[in-house]
Structure 1
Amino acid sequence: MKLSYKLYPFQVNSENQKSIGDIIILHGLFGSSKNWVTVGKYLSNFGSVYTLDQRNHGESPHTNEHSIKLMSEDLEEFLSDHQIKEPILLGHSMGGLVAMYFDFTHPGFLKELIIQDIAPRSYPFAYDKEIQAMSFPLDGFSSRNGIDAEMAKYLPDTFIRQFLQMSLERMDSGEYRWKLNVAGLNQARRVFEDVFSEIVSSKTKTLFLIGGNSEYISKDDLDLIEKKFSNLLIKTIPGGGHYIHFTHQKEYLEILREDLSLIS
């Protein structure tokens, strides 16, 4: 599948500055490249940055098939089409699962793997409220405020509603639509199950960025991560949750700066 993407070209700030290579960013479930504008612009100080819309998200095509394996194959096709070799791959949540799967199935291909707040294991599809908040008909709504008020009946969390509404588009007709394939994602409820085998492991240079208060990472997950990745650095942002690239952006970018500054 041909994925939509946003490119942030390498920003040369000094004569002696060299690119560390291409950086690919994979968003999480219900996200898109729009969630990564600030991070993408910042990382372009190190190399050219591609923020991808994964299948059924953003401007990329919709399909009834949605799995970590297929998204990894989409990524492989993108890298081949753009002749990108030895990229740095950053993945958040669902994007992190795709990134780890790609690394496990393409040993030695990545220059570095950066995973945000997800572990290489199965996760339940615990997003009924999000699906319900995007499943009512949008006919007759003339404003985002009206849609938000209706969404709040299903999803009280204002932050998550605002996150979802980054995929809400007003068409030329004045009507609204979801760029997300809501029905397709609702049918893919096993997308996070049985992705990784017990025997896979990685020697790739790997950085895990974890929110200190995240519900997605347990102590057992930390033990699992240490077993799976032999060239590993784990950084925890105190007080952070699942969206530390947004809620704790200063600390998040500083960790990335320190890490990428060591790459030649």
Structure 2
Amino acid sequence: MKLSYKLYPFLNQDSNKKSIGDIIILHGLFGSSKNWVTVGKFLSEFGNVYTLDQRNHGDSPHSAEHSIQVMAGDLEEFILTHQIQKPVLLGHSMGGLVAMYFDLTHPGLLQELIIQDIAPRSYPFAYDNEIASMSFPLVGFSSRTEIDQEMAKFVSDSFIRQFLQMSLERKEDGSYHWKLNVDGLNHARRVFEDVFTFDQTSETPTLFLLGGESDYIRESDFSLMDRFFDKNQKVRIKGGGHYIHFTHQKEYLDQLGKWLQSEFT
């Protein structure tokens, strides 16, 4: 599948700084390239940055097939189509699972791997409320405020609602629709199960950038990270949750910058 993407060309005000190569960013479930504008611009100081819309998200095509494996196949097609050599791959949540699976099944292809707040294991599909908040008919709603009020009946957290609404689009006739394939994602409830069922290990230098208070990471995950990724470093951002690229943006970008500078100098 040909994925939609945004490109942030390498741009560094220091003429002595050379590009480290291409960087690819994979968003999480219900996200899109729109969630990564600030990070994309920041990382463009190091190289060309591609922020992808994965299938069933953003401006990429919809499909009834949605799994970590097929998304890894989409990524492979993207890399081949754009003739990208040895990229740095950053993945958050679902995108992190895709990134880890891709690296483990394509040894030696990546230059570096950055995984945000996810571990190489199975996860439950615990998003019934989010799906419900995007499943009611949008006919008759005249503003985003009205839609938000209806969504609040299912998702009380305003941050999560605002995150979801980044995929809410208004048509020329004034009506609204979801760019996400909500029904398709609802029927892909095993997407996070039984992905890492093999013994392959990776030699790719890997940074696990984790929220210190995240519900997605448990202590037993650290041994799994070590099992699959021989050359990994773990950094926990104090007080951070699953969306540290938003909630703890300064520290998050500082850690990304430190990692890239240490690995490429």
TM-score normalised by length of structure 2? 0.99
Give, in whole Å, the separation in 2 of the partners of 1:205 and 1:212: 22
Structure 1 equivalent of residue 72 of structure 2:
72
Query: What CA distance in whole angstroms lies between the structure 2 residues aligned with 1:160 and 1:137?
Result: 20
Q: Which residue of 1 aligns with 2:46?
A: 46
- Is residue 2:107 matched to residue 1:107? yes
Where does 1:1-264 land on structure 2 (aligned, <5 Å)? 1-262=1-262, 263-264=264-265
- Report SS of the residue matched to 2:220: helix
What is the Cα deviation at residue 17 of structure 1? 1.2
Once the two structures are superposed, residues 104-135 of structure 1 have per-residue CA deviations (whole angstroms, 9 ceiling, x without a partner) of: 00001100000000000000000000000000
Distance 1:214 1:202 in 2: 25
Task: Give 1:190 shift.
Answer: 0.2
User: Would you say how many aligned residue pairs link Structure 1 and Structure 2?
Assistant: 264
* Separation (CA, whole Å) in 1 of partners of 2:37 and 2:15: 26
1:2-32 deviations in Å (ceiling 9; x for gaps): 0000000000312211000000000000000
Identity of aligned residues (%): 70
Cα distance in structure 1, aligned partners of 2:93 and 2:14: 34
Q: Which amino acid aligns with 2:41?
A: K
> For each residue in 1:181-214, what CA deviation from the matched residue of structure 2 results, as whole angstroms up to 9, or x when unmatched?
0000000000000001241211110000000000
**Structure 1 unaligned regions, length at least 5:** none
Q: Mind listing any 5+ residue stretches in structure 2 that lack a counterpart? A: none
> Secondary structure at 2:192's aligned position in 1?
coil
State the 1:238 CA deviation: 0.5
The amino acid across from 1:209 in the alignment is: L
Root-mean-square deviation over aligned CA pairs: 0.7
What one-letter code is carried by the residue in structure 1 that aligns with 2:147?
A: I
Once superposed, which parts of structure 1, at least 4 consecutive aligned residues long, lie more than 3 Å away? none
C-alpha distance after superposition, 1:163-184 (max 9, x if no partner): 0000000000100000000000
Structure 1 counterpart of 2:255, which letter?
A: I
- Name the SS of the counterpart of 1:123 in structure 2: coil
**Aligned partners of 2:12 and 2:46: how far apart in 1?**
9
CA distance in 2, matches of 1:247, 1:14: 29
User: TM-score, with normalisation over the residues of structure 1?
Assistant: 0.99
Q: Which moved more, 1:190-199 or 1:172-181?
A: 190-199
How far apart, in 2, do the equivalents of 1:231 and 1:148 lie?
44
1:63, distance to aligned residue in structure 2 (A): 0.5
Corresponding letter in the other structure for 1:119: A
- Alpha-carbon distance in structure 2 between the residues aligned to 1:136 and 1:15: 52
Question: Deviation per CA, 1:132-153, whole angstroms, max 9, x where unpaired?
Answer: 0000000000000000000001
In 2, the alpha carbon distance for the partners of 1:89 and 1:10 equals 16
For 2:181 and 2:143, the matched residues in 1 are separated by 21
- Matches of 1:220 and 1:103, distance apart in 2: 22
The one-letter code matched in structure 1 to 2:154 is Y
3-state SS of 1:219 partner: coil
